[in-house]
Amino acid sequence: MASSLYSFIIPLAIAFIFVTPPTSTSKISLNHEREETEPSFRIMLKRVDAGKNLTTSERIRRALQRDRKRLQMFKTMTKLSSSGIEAPVFPGPGEFLMQLAIGTPPQYYPAIMDTGSDLIWTQCSPCVQCFSQPTPVFDPSKSDSFESLSCSSKFCQDLSSACIGNCYYTYAYGDSSFTIGYMATETFAFNGSGSPVSVQNIAFGCGQFDQGTFTNCSGLVGMGRGPLSLPSQLPVSTFSYCLTSTDSSNDSTLYLGPSPYELPQGTPVTSTLVKNTYQPSFYYFTLTGISVGATRLDIPSDGFAIGKNGTNGIIIDSGTTLTYIPSNYYDMAKDEFVRQTKLSPFPNSTSLIGLDCYELPQSPSTVQFPILVFHFDGGDLMVKDYLITGSYSNYELVCLAMGSSDTLGISIFGNIMQVNKYIVYDLEREVLTFIPTNCNGK
């Protein structure tokens, strides 16, 4: 079996980011203007499911449940957008957890890193209603650097909701999850390329009334394109990451700012980032077609373009596990996959497992699996990581890590297909770059 195949028993792309408590730190005071020399932060990612005693079915169920919740949020967002309704609804809980140090002296908390939203927030004391979190709730009264914001603040004006009195915010996440609180500024600590770096005056939300499907965290760190996101507030014009395969014992890496390390030697493939005024937080990119092996599917070059009222288009999303495309394109891909592999579809696999699966022969190594090719306006990206293998009721199966996006109103390039690629978000040049590399060796 090819090494690029995923197994049912893997912990799918969930990670903690651990930041070492700073002993001595350098400090940056943000004036929220780009600096000539950008700082860089290298942050390590670990998978939270690693070492957990979970069965194959439990791991698959957990991964698909997370995707279903997030997809419901996307569905709500695009439905409101296509109806011309403006509402602060965001995709919410994602797949990666970042541990931050906040305040003076620093208090540590894990938060979801989300490329689909902007606001940085954590639960704060006193909390009227809070969900359970693994660390103590952040207490502003114990920090010397905490400062609440007023309605006249630029950051308060960047909120989508009107400001009345103090700078309160409301963020809803489409699946009945929400956070309500007030805006403030604080000092956040990150690991830099040398000693830890403390960044002052980061605007964030202090949540006091919070509810929803947030697990193993105390809040979110928005990495989207809006003014309140972490990349927008830091003096950086790029961020990037390199995700390891699930069978690797090495950590994945996230970089804020230019990578302080030598770039991979693979051939870069680029795609133009596209802005959608109806969904300004998402990272839409330019996709002109898909091939299965050497066979290019009959997809028009504008098949993934943003349509009327901001619908359709395709985004790259770290918080979604699978890749979702329109059903007519997905059906083409499935048919071509079957034609080239000669595998038989497993009956009712979508209802039994939640994936399109195929029965493997007694000698799986005899099957030649084609490479998927995503055609961008700046080159062709070869994708080997698009299969999940496992057993079901004594049958050995291989499943596509894909699904239909018809009910979503948007296509999504999920994190399984992002594995073993150094991916750079160049926010200044509006370019998304993929460099195939061995992230396992980083």
Exposure b/e, 36-69, CB count within 10 A at least 16 = b: eeebbbbbbbbbbbeeeeeeeeebbebbbebbeb
Mean pLDDT over 128-147 rounds to 94
Do residue 187 and residue 312 come from a single domain? no
Q: Determine, yes or no, domain membership for 261.
A: no
Mean pLDDT over 200-218 rounds to 89
Q: Determine, yes or no, domain membership for 178.
A: yes
Q: What are the tens digits of pLDDT across the range 281-318?
A: 999 999 999 999 999 999 999 999 999 888 899 999 98
Q: What are the tens digits of pLDDT across the range 364-376?
A: 889 999 999 999 9
Question: Global pTM?
Answer: 0.85
Tally of domains in the chain: 2
Q: Quick check: helix, strand or coil at residue 292?
A: strand
pLDDT value of position 251: 74
Which domain-ending residue is among 222, 256, 290? 256
Specify the residue for token string 């805006």.
Answer: 183
Residues acting as catalytic residues: 114, 317
Mean pLDDT over 257-284 rounds to 88
Tally of CB atoms within 10 A around 220: 30
Which domain-ending residue is among 214, 230, 256? 256
> CA angle, corner 40, sides to 34 and 42, nearest 5?
150
Q: What rounded mean pLDDT belongs to the chain? A: 81
Q: Determine, yes or no, domain membership for 4.
A: no
Do residue 242 and residue 385 come from a single domain? no
Do residue 177 and residue 303 come from a single domain? no
pLDDT value of position 177: 80
The larger pLDDT score, comparing residue 100 to residue 418, is at 418
Do residue 425 and residue 338 come from a single domain? yes
Beta strands, E only, 336-404: 344-345, 357-359, 372-376, 379-383, 387-392, 395-400, 402-404
Domain hosting 103: range is 41-76+85-256
DSSP, res 160: S
User: C-alpha dihedral over 59, 60, 66, 69, to 10 degrees?
Assistant: -140
Is the peptide bond preceding residue 126 cis, with omega within 30 degrees of 0? yes
**What residues pair up with 280 in beta bridges, in sequence order?**
none
Do residue 293 and residue 212 come from a single domain? no
Beta strands, E only, 233-386: 238-242, 252-256, 269-274, 284-285, 287-292, 295-296, 314-316, 323-325, 344-345, 357-359, 372-376, 379-383
Q: What are the tens digits of pLDDT across the range 66-101?
A: 777 677 666 665 554 444 434 444 444 567 777 788
CATH number at residue 367: 2.40.70.10
Do residue 167 and residue 235 come from a single domain? yes
Do residue 414 and residue 326 come from a single domain? yes
The larger pLDDT score, comparing residue 48 to residue 88, is at 48
Which domain-ending residue is among 256, 286, 306? 256
